A and B are shown apart, each in its own frame.
Chain A
Amino acid sequence: MRESINPPLTPSCNPFQKKKGWFQRKEMLGINLLRLATYIIIACALFIFSDIFIKGVPTLVKSEAPFINTEFFTESPQILTVWHDSAGNEYSMTQEKHDIWVIENPTIEVIDIHNYTASGGGILGPLLGTALLVTICMAIALFIGVSAAIYLSEYCGTGKLMSLIRLAILNLAGVPSIVYALFGWGVFCYMAPNYVTEISDRSLFAFSIGGGYISFEGWEQSLLAGGCTLAIMVLPVIITACEESLRAVPKGFREAAFALGATRWQTIRTAVLPYALPGVLTASVLGITRVAGETAPIMLTAAASDKSKLPTEVLADEGFWSFLTQSVQALPFHIYTLAKFPDSEYVKPMQYGSILVFLLLVMGFSLISMVLRSRIRKRNKW
Chain B
Amino acid sequence: MVASPTSQDSSTDPALINIDDLGFSYNQGKTETIQGVSLHCPEKQVTAFIGPSGCGKSTLLRCINRMNDLVETSKITRGSINIMGQDINAPDVDAIELRKQVGMVFQKYNPFPKSIYENVAYGLRIQGIKNKSTLDEAVERALKGAALWDEVKDRLKDSALGLSGGQQQRLCIARTTAVSPKVILMDEPCSALDPIATAKVEELISELRRDFTIVIVTHSMQQASRISDNTAFFYLGELVEYGDTNKIFSNPSVKQTEDYISGRFG
Contact with A along B55-92 (1 / 0, CB 8 A): 00000000001010010100000000000000000000
Q: Residue on A with the closest CB to B109?
A: A252
Q: Which of B99, B108, B113, B125 contacts A259 (CB under 8 A)?
A: B99
Q: Residue on A with the closest CB to B72?
A: A157
Q: Contact between B122 and A257 (Cβ–Cβ < 8 Å)? A: yes
Q: Which of B3-11, B172-180, B199-207 contacts A (4 or more CB under 8 A)?
A: B172-180
Least CB distance from A264 to B in Å reads: 9
State the CA gap A344–B230 with chains docked (Å). 92
Q: Contact between B161 and A260 (Cβ–Cβ < 8 Å)? A: no
Residue A70 lies at the interface, judged by CB distance under 8 Å to chain B: no
State the CA gap A206–B72 with chains docked (Å). 45
- Taking A259-B106, A275-B113 as known contacts, 17 extra A-B pairs with beta carbons closer than 8 A to each other, sorted by chain A number, are A250-B110, A252-B106, A253-B110, A255-B67, A256-B110, A256-B111, A256-B112, A258-B67, A258-B99, A260-B122, A260-B175, A261-B123, A262-B96, A266-B126, A271-B112, A381-B161, A382-B113
State the CA gap A255–B67 with chains docked (Å). 8
- A157: which B residues are within 8 A, CB to CB? 72
State the CA gap A255–B106 with chains docked (Å). 9
Q: Residue on B with the closest CB to A254?
A: B70
Chain B positions within 8 Å of A, measured between CB atoms, are 65, 67, 70, 72, 96-97, 99-100, 103-104, 106, 108, 110-113, 122-123, 125-127, 161, 172, 175-176, 179
15 contacts between A and B (CB under 8 A): A158-B72, A252-B106, A253-B112, A254-B70, A255-B67, A255-B104, A255-B106, A256-B111, A258-B99, A259-B106, A260-B103, A260-B176, A261-B179, A270-B122, A381-B113
Size of the chain A interface, CB-CB below 8 angstroms = 22
CB proximity to B under 8 Å, residues A359-382: 380-382
State the CA gap A263–B128 with chains docked (Å). 12
Contact with B along A212-231 (1 / 0, CB 8 A): 00000000000000000000
State the CA gap A261–B110 with chains docked (Å). 16
Q: Contact between B175 and A261 (Cβ–Cβ < 8 Å)? A: no
